[in-house]
Structure formats: C-alpha cells, structure tokens
Copies of this chain bind each other. A is one copy, B any other.
Amino acid sequence: MLRVGIGGGSGYSGVELIQILLRHPEVEITFLSSERYAGDPVEVLFPHLRSLIDVRFSKLEDVSQTDLDVLFLALPHGEAMRLVPQLDNIPLIIDLSGDFRIPAPEVFEQYYGFAHTAMEQQKGFIYGLTEINRDQLRGARRISNPGCFATATILALYPLYRKAWVDGPVYVDSKTGSSGAGRSPSATTHHPRRTQSLFPYKPFSHQHIPEIEQLLDRAENRLIFQPHSAPFVRGIFASHYMQLIEPKTAEEVRALYQEIYSQSPFIRIVPGCPDLSCIQHSNFVDIGVATDDRHLIVWSTLDNLQKGAAGQAVQNMNVACGFEETLGLTASPAFP
C-alpha cells in the first residue's frame, strides 16, 4: 500500500481526492492538511465522510516530517511553488494548481498576476494530460495536473490539430459548474444568484489559455476561449466551433477520434450530442461532433473535479506508478 498525502485536503479537489482514493486498492491516505482544521477529524469539516476515514487534518508544514510515497497538492495557486523545493525526498508529487503548468515565467506572470519563484523546479514537471503525455508520465516524479477547461479543450481539439484539418480561428464556448469556484463562498456562487443564472467571465484572459496553446500551437489556428458560469454544480461542457480545410462527415471525424484515442479508456466518442449528466462523478470525457459541409462543431464534457482535477491526478499516479490506468476510477457516472 502506498502512503499518500493530500496538501490542501479541505478544498473541493482535496475532498474529491479523498473520495476517489478511498476506493483505490493500492493506497492508504496517511496525511491531509488544513490550516484551519488542523487537529480535527475529517468529519468536522466534511460530515459526509463520517465513519469512512479516521485521519485528522495536519498543518501543511508537517508534511516534511511525514513519510509519504505520493503527495497530491491541491492548494491555491502560488503555494505549491513555495513548498515543492523543500520536498525533494517525496518520490512522487502531483500538483493540481497552475503553478507548474507554464514553462515561460513571463506568461505565467501575465495570467496569474504574480511572479513565479520556482522555475528551476518547474522544468522537472511533466504536464499531466494523460492521454497526450502518457509515455512521459510513466515513472515520472513530478507531475503538473492540467486545468479543467484545458483538459476539456485540448482533448476536443488535439486530433484535429495533429492532422491539421482546421482552417482559421477556433472559438471555444465553455460552461462550468459552481464547484469550479471552490469551497469558499462568493457573490457569484451565492445560491440565490447562481441557481437560475448564466454569465461569461474573463473574456480573452482566462489563465487556462496558455496551457491550451502550448499543446495546440498552430499559427494558422487562433484559439478564442470564453468561459461561462452555469447553474449546475459539477462539470464542464465545452463547445468548439471552426472551419475545416477539407469537408468531412461527422463519421469521418469520429473515426479520427476513435483512432487517436483507441488506447484511452476514459475517452468516449459518442454518436449525436453529448450530455453533461452522462459524466458527472466519473473520470470520463465524452466527445461528440457535428458537421455541415465546411463547418465543424466538437463538444467535450467532463466532471471538473474528476477528469478536470482529482480524477486525472489519480489517473496520472496510476500511470506514474505502473498501476492499471483505471484503478480506483471505474465507478460509473452517477445518474440521475
């Protein structure tokens, strides 16, 4: 059994990691951090976990005295970069924040609003979009887990970019649930306002844009990414609009995706239109397409806390440690 710790166990990515790892046959959670709840049992903060786990929260600083095989970091942006340089002795660290996703310090600062302080360590991180970087992830020691929007859009566009099928700009209209904003209440996640609402935010400036662009980098295809806050709790539904260089039928496009993702158990190419409610609480990414002569729409949908965060992190741990890629992640989507 691997001894696994979670730095930032009190946020939504942290609790999703707990929920997944409790089902994982090869690991044991031995460390969870929360500054505010240090010393308390998990159910003080997460009463739904009563009787399921008896680890108490620790202070994050105590991680260095803890003997861990794997450490997941689910901290606010900027904290992992302070911590990682001190944790050389931990064999595998998987960071879920944006801290180690961007190799260019000036791009990082532009999108995150503060200077990067651990660029040396950044070079040691593999970008953990499992389906794209699976080979590099085997045996990796430092993994930077992708952003939720980035995962949805990279997986939706990667086959088309690899084949250079797209002509001109690609417009991405992405809709996210309220859990994407995390566990801290705010005006835009206040139930009276959010529950019958929908609104865009951060036009032309979301911090997942550089992540997407570094994997999808054709000068001919400018990518316009626009996120929207929608009134569901879990999930991302991303709609991608573009022109094709050559006309293709939906069948031809699906065949391309089937081929490229033939070894990827979490990618499902679906006939017709995907539905957010088919992937919630699972690690699946459902992808669908529609075409009309030269125009193509690609839809991708995933659970932002699973494939968009904790699920992909565990998938990456599985690949890095040589486990079956789906271990602990085989639960069906929860419907209704």
**Nearest 4 CB-CB pairs, A to B?**
A203-B290, A192-B336, A185-B185, A48-B278
A158 at interface (Cβ–Cβ under 8 A)? no
- Closest beta carbon of chain B to A9's beta carbon, Å: 14
Q: Which of these, B178, B193, B200, contacts A273 with CB under 8 Å?
A: B200
* Among A198, A231, A274, A297: residue with most chain B CB under 10 A: A198
Cβ-closest chain B residue relative to A229: B275
A284 CB contacts on chain B under 8 angstroms: 51
A195 CB contacts on chain B under 8 angstroms: 178, 191, 195, 232-233
> Which A residues between 280 and 336 are near B, CB-CB below 8 angstroms?
280-282, 284, 286, 290, 292, 295, 297, 299, 301, 330-336
Q: Is the CB of A332 within 8 A of B22?
A: yes
* Among A177, A224, A336: residue with most chain B CB under 10 A: A336
A23 at interface (Cβ–Cβ under 8 A)? yes
A268 CB contacts on chain B under 8 angstroms: 50-51
Q: Give the CA-CA distance A173 to B50 in the complex, in Å.
A: 26
Q: Mark A46-59, 1 if CB is under 8 A from B, else 0.
A: 11111110000000
Cβ-closest chain B residue relative to A301: B198
A179 at interface (Cβ–Cβ under 8 A)? yes
A47 CB contacts on chain B under 8 angstroms: 270, 275, 278
Q: Mark A117-134, 1 if CB is under 8 A from B, else 0.
A: 000000000000000000
The count of chain A contact residues (Cβ–Cβ below 8 Å) is: 83
Chain-B contact segment, one of A77-85, A135-143, A236-244: A236-244
Q: Give the CA-CA distance A184 to B336 in the complex, in Å.
A: 13
Q: Which of these, B18, B199, B290, contacts A274 with CB under 8 Å?
A: B199
Q: Is the CB of A241 within 8 A of B273?
A: no
Cβ-closest chain B residue relative to A192: B336
A169 at interface (Cβ–Cβ under 8 A)? yes
Q: Mark A221-263, 1 if CB is under 8 A from B, else 0.
A: 0101010101111110101010100000000000000000000
Q: Point out residues on A near B: beta carbons under 8 Å.
A: 12, 15, 18-19, 22-23, 46-52, 168-169, 171, 173, 175, 177-179, 183-187, 189-201, 203-204, 222, 224, 226, 228, 230-235, 237, 239, 241, 243, 265, 268, 270, 273-282, 284, 286, 290, 292, 295, 297, 299, 301, 330-336
- Closest beta carbon of chain B to A277's beta carbon, Å: 4
Once A292-B204, A332-B22 are accepted as A-B contacts, the answer to whether A196 and B48 lie under 8 Å apart by CB is: no
- Closest beta carbon of chain B to A23's beta carbon, Å: 7
A179 CB contacts on chain B under 8 angstroms: 192, 336
* Among A197, A222, A226: residue with most chain B CB under 10 A: A197
- Closest beta carbon of chain B to A99's beta carbon, Å: 24
Cβ-closest chain B residue relative to A171: B241
Q: Is the CB of B196 within 8 A of A185?
A: no
Cβ-closest chain B residue relative to A197: B277
